[in-house]
Amino acid sequence: MSEGPFIAIDAMGGDSGPSVMIAGASRALRSDPALNFIFYGDEKQIAAEVKKHKNLQSHTAIVHASEAITASEKPSQALRRARTTSMGMAINAVKEGQASAALSAGNTGAMMAISKLALRTLLGIDRPALAALLPTLGDKDCVMLDLGANTECDVQNLVQFAVMGAAYARTVLNIPKPRVRLLNIGTEELKGTGEIKEAAALLRDADYLPFKFDGFTEGDQLSRGGIDVIVTDGFSGNIALKTAEGTARFVTDLLRRAFKSSLRSKAGFALSKPALNLLKVHLDPNNHNGAVFLGLNGLVVKSHGGANAKGVANAIHVADQMVRNDITRRISEDLDNFRAHAFNGDGQ
């Protein structure tokens, strides 16, 4: 084993199971030889896959798990048997200090429930949030949260999400003072629910924190590149994310159909292929794979269930970045700063 971080991986999660999860780890290791992995799941299946990747031999430990959590399993059911499942054991490895971060491509609801029970939330955080990077037309991606962990959020939840999202943007995107906006039905100050307007007022007053609150944004501006962090409740965030993914697939499928419609179109496709390949790379969800549960006393990363080896490798790199940049400490410091100013303000 190297001296680098240990990533605990639920090898049984995802649509393809151990083969893709382990191939993704091998790919990540080629980019960062300091990584180490602990795979949890069916020992025989995992060992057979690890043998296919020579670079993993000295960077891998395998822990047998007799059970796996299914995609359709309710969070309450998953909680009851977490200790014997590959997902639960991977998350518990973070709690016990055996790993720096946990990764799974399994059931999102079960992951959130197990993570919250095992790791607990940071002081000052009521609910963890699921954050991920979205592609934009700008020079950098943008961070969006919450993407489905909390269907209903109050004012404090939204403010806490903004603090966590900004810390995530500083860590992953290397932006010293991220631009933060709340997702709303309009950009005018009078638009939106009472919770959104009250959260906006609190964020405007928090100019001492290392981010710039930039007001509201509408859904059609998410990919324009003028925002670094988009904050919303999990219900709206999940719908927005799925709509964006569906639109991307619609555009690529429509282009493919159009280029096959005639001989002239096929000739045009041949000329346009370099540009279309660039579009494909930009829209490929595997290039942006790896959503993070922010606000926990430990790092947990969610990979898309249908991710390929490249996608899993990207999710591992996200976990590695979080570990190396100590994202949990950054969030805690910002929250402490926010609470200190809020308390002093109340006392005046």
**277-312 pLDDT, tens digit each:** 555 555 566 667 788 999 999 999 999 888 899 999
Q: Where are the alpha helices (DSSP H) in 131-187?
A: 155-172
Asked whether the predicted pLDDT for residue 90 surpasses 80, the reply is yes
Same fold, 1-121+295-324 and 126-294: yes
DSSP type of residue 220: G
Summarised one tens digit per residue, pLDDT across range 109-140 is: 899 999 999 999 988 888 899 998 888 888 88
Q: Select, from the ranges 196-200, 254-258, 263-267, 324-328, the one with the highest average predicted confidence (pLDDT).
A: 196-200
Position 294, amino acid: L
Type of residue at 116: K
Q: Do the Cβ atoms of 190 and 230 come closer than 8 Å?
A: no
Quote the CA–CA distance of 214 and 246 in Å, as a whole number: 28
For residue 91, is pLDDT > 90? yes
Q: What are phi and psi of 37, to 5 degrees?
A: -130, 145
Average pLDDT over residues 174-189: 91
- Which residue carries 């037309």 as its tokens? 137
What pLDDT is stored for residue 27 in this prediction? 94
Average pLDDT over residues 234-250: 83
Burial tier of 24 (Cβ tally within 10 Å: 0-12, 13-18, 19+): buried
184: left (phi over 0), alpha (psi -120 to 50) or beta: beta
- Among 322, 300, 297, residue whose Cα is nearest residue 87: 300
User: Residue 270 corresponds to which tokens in the numbers above?
Assistant: 């041949």
Q: Before 146, cis peptide (omega within 30)?
A: yes
Beta strand spans in 249-328 (E) = 291-294, 299-302
264-289 mean pLDDT: 62
The angle subtended at Cα 199 by Cα 196 and Cα 202, nearest 5°, is 155
- Strand ranges inside the chain, DSSP E: 6-10, 36-41, 60-64, 101-104, 129-134, 142-145, 179-183, 212-217, 229-231, 291-294, 299-302
Question: With pLDDT > 70 as the criterion, what percentage of the chain qualifies?
Answer: 90
**156: closest CA among 199, 115, 219, 192?**
199
Superfamily of domain 126-294: Isopropylmalate Dehydrogenase (3.40.718.10)
Question: pLDDT at position 25, please?
Answer: 95
Per residue in 34-77, pLDDT (tens digit) is 999 999 999 999 999 999 999 998 999 999 999 999 988 898 98
Cα separation values, 263 from 260, 274, 298, Å: 8, 19, 56
Separation CA 202–CA 330 (nearest Å): 20
48 or 264, higher pLDDT: 48
Higher-pLDDT residue of 208 and 341 is 208
pLDDT at 348 over 50: no
Is there a contact between 6 and 294 (Cβ–Cβ < 8 Å)?
A: no
Predicted pLDDT at 260: 74
Considering only 84-93, 127-136, 188-197, 281-290, which range has the smallest mean pLDDT? 281-290
Residue 269 is predicted with a pLDDT of 61
H or E element at residue 245: helix 234-259
Per-residue pLDDT, 61? 94
Every domain of the chain and the residues it spans = 1-121+295-324, 126-294
Pairing of β 129-134 and β 291-294 = antiparallel
Give backbone dihedrals phi and psi of 70, rounded to 5 degrees, phi first.
Answer: -85, 165
pLDDT at 342 over 80: no
Strands 142-145 and 229-231: parallel
Query: Which whole number is the average pLDDT over 207-232?
Result: 89
pTM of the model: 0.84
pLDDT recorded at residue 347: 41
CB-CB contact of 296 with 290 (8 Å): no
**Which CATH number is correct for 1-121+295-324, 3.90.1150.10, 3.90.1150.140, 1.20.140.10, 3.40.718.10?**
3.40.718.10
pLDDT of the residue at 282: 54
C-alpha span between 124 and 160 (Å, rounded): 8
pLDDT digits (tens, 9 = 90+) for 68-79: 999 888 989 889
